Structure 1
Amino acid sequence: MRAPEGSKPGTAHAPFLGIALMCLAVMSFAITDTTAKWLTFHTNVFVVVWARYVSHFALALLVFNPWSVPGLLRTSRPLLQIGRSALLFATTALNFTALQFLQLDQTVSIMFSIPFFVALFAGPILGEQVGRRRWIAILVGFSGILLVVRPGAGGIHPAAILCLCAAATYALYAITTRMLAKTDSSATTLFYTSLVGSIAASLPLPFVWETPHEPLVLGAMLELGLVAGIGHFLLILAHARAPAATLAPFIYTQIISMIGLGWLVFGQVPSLWTLAGASIVIASGAYLLVVEARSRVAPASRP
């Protein structure tokens, strides 16, 4: 589940094309997570995070660079740009670490809690009120998360906590993306995302580096960032062609891709508990989206 890379509002004149682009984007993210999980069986997880960002940065340089896009590095809020990029890096590191131990369908179900964290954080950060209906949706949604992780006598798997932390950091990332969309261009935000992430991922590299020798591993490391970068770009294109309220429900199609890829690549079949929990989380998240959409429309409809 991803937020647009600081895209500015565009002319929403092709909703069906926007929906198609959104579905392709979330499918790209499912492929990214699948590749990352496969790579963690062959190399250190920090090397996987590094490969994701460096290959993404290489793609960003081909499409957006300071020479072809004058003023690309110009931002009115540099600290917010860096902080936002650091939040996405933290999300990636936490999510990739959790992927080593959890099934793909479990991680995506937990990550679907992002709208609940957005609703919680939007109050103190953006001044948006969390009403009674939102609180009910948040509590019901987290009950669905409990069904997915199923805490029992042995307690919750630590990887599930890491995944929940990833959802929280991503929610903060989504809020800062919304803030930057008012001042900075999509290209600037996308470039800073890959630049800061590449620098942060390179810092621990001397201590964890494992030289890959298998061609398939090298290919997967290259594909990881390329597909992630393409997914973010598709997301930008989708939001330029359809309203966010139209696109948001289609984020949940990612679970279909994750279940299919989990079965094809790892032979993983989701349990009934996971499916039930995911259904509750999706229903609660979709309700939050409807409440948010109505709250935005209501003031404009008043005389």
Structure 2
Amino acid sequence: MPAASPHLSETRRSRLIAIGLICCAVLFFALLDTSAKWLSGHMHPVQTVFARYAVSMVLVLMLLNPWSHPGVLRTKRPWLQGVRSLLLLGATALNFIALKYLQLAETVSIMFAGPLLVALVAGPLLGEWPGPRRLAAIGVGFLGVLVITRPGVGGMHPAALLCVFGTICYSFYALATRQVAAYDPPETTMVYSGVAGTLAVLPIIPFFWTMPQTPFVWLVMLAMGAFGGFGHWLLILAHRLAPATVLAPFIYSQIVWMIVLGWFVFGQFPDGWTFAGATIVIASGLYLLYRERVRKVPETAARLD
């Protein structure tokens, strides 16, 4: 067997590093949600959202600021940056409120439907129309969400609806991120996310603020912001080293961390319906990724997609 070319070996090495980074990123996101759920027993979710954004903003500005990165605040699409940041804020707030009542695995299973919604609305918004196979996968994925939430049968807390709305916000946030990436570097986008989110919550935080009673609560608040900031930073680094189609399947590993942390921290374990629904949603998402790869192959059969 001939030895692999240096270029091929370097590509494989970069992809392995990127996969490691994405796995670490989703671990940080799982720790973020775990911290937010724990804090919901000690303060209002609005205060939790503010802590997540304020701490993350400070950490990001320590690394990315006009002195260390001249021009980092310069954006070609300020309105798009603002809308994107507010969509992320809405998704975060709705998710944090839902976490107060739902298990970690339940919320992340519903959020996994985000790529399905992105594929559905990318047609009218971006002209990327899904074919019949991907439409079928999207429909099956949404059935998985219904299995998890079980509307009308009393299977889950009504807060699951907040998680659904949060997923909608996050899906449009993902589309806005794809659009703004054509104009601004990821460092600029990351700075605007933290600053816009913090400034949006700042005027209302006095109405919800309660002084943390113990140093440990302060520590969890600080850690939560750090988890969010570092998680998004690792996400950016990973996407610099490998394409999204390579990394996307590993994002689903977050559910493993959510199950483990939910059991270890809160003594909660998802029921069979949640496992079944999550499996359907994840399988549908992976099939969409597979069809995305097929579409890039110049074959006649790909026209069926």
Is the TM value for this pair above 0.5? yes
Which deviates the most, 156-165 or 126-135? 156-165
2:193, 2:141 → 1: CA distance? Answer: 29
Q: Is the 8 A contact 2:149 2:155 kept in 1?
A: no
Q: Is the 8 A contact 1:86 1:196 kept in 2?
A: yes
The aligned residue for residue 103 of structure 1 is 103
Task: Note the residue ranges of structure 2 that are not aligned, 5 or more in a row.
Answer: 1-10
Which deviates the most, 123-132 or 35-44? 123-132
SS in 2 for 1:206: helix
Relative distance call for 1:212 and 1:129 in structure 2 (3 A) is same
The aligned residue for residue 167 of structure 2 is 167
The aligned residue for residue 144 of structure 1 is 144
Q: Is the 8 A contact 1:91 1:169 kept in 2?
A: yes
Question: Is 1:281 the equivalent of 2:281?
Answer: yes
Which deviates the most, 203-212 or 54-63? 203-212
Q: Is the 8 A contact 1:13 1:241 kept in 2?
A: no
Q: Please say which structure displays the higher CA radius of gyration.
A: 2
2:293, 2:88 → 1: CA distance? Answer: 25
The aligned residue for residue 228 of structure 1 is 228
Structure 2: which amino acid aligns with 1:124?
Answer: P
Relative distance call for 1:171 and 1:78 in structure 2 (3 A) is same
Cα displacement (A) at 1:151: 2.4
The aligned residue for residue 3 of structure 1 is none
The aligned residue for residue 295 of structure 1 is 295
The aligned residue for residue 26 of structure 2 is 26
SS in 2 for 1:209: coil
2:277, 2:109 → 1: CA distance? Answer: 8
TM-score by length of 1: 0.92
1:48, 1:208 → 2: CA distance? Answer: 10
The aligned residue for residue 268 of structure 2 is 268
The aligned residue for residue 6 of structure 2 is none
Task: Note the residue ranges of structure 1 that are not aligned, 5 or more in a row.
Answer: 1-10
Q: Percent identity?
A: 52
The aligned residue for residue 132 of structure 1 is 132
Structure 1: which amino acid aligns with 2:281?
Answer: V
Q: Is the 8 A contact 2:26 2:253 kept in 1?
A: yes
TM-score by length of 2: 0.92
2:246, 2:92 → 1: CA distance? Answer: 26
Cα displacement (A) at 1:297: 4.0
1:153, 1:176 → 2: CA distance? Answer: 35
Q: Deviations over 1:137-190 (max 9, x none)?
A: 111111111111122444763211110111111111111111111110111000
Cα displacement (A) at 1:13: 5.8
Q: Deviations over 1:112-135 (max 9, x none)?
A: 000111012211111111211111
Structure 2: which amino acid aligns with 1:57?
Answer: M
Structure 2: which amino acid aligns with 1:258?
Answer: M
The aligned residue for residue 8 of structure 2 is none
2:205, 2:296 → 1: CA distance? Answer: 45
SS in 1 for 2:164: helix
1:169, 1:243 → 2: CA distance? Answer: 24
1:117, 1:13 → 2: CA distance? Answer: 32
The aligned residue for residue 77 of structure 1 is 77
Supply the RMSD in Å over aligned alpha carbons: 1.6
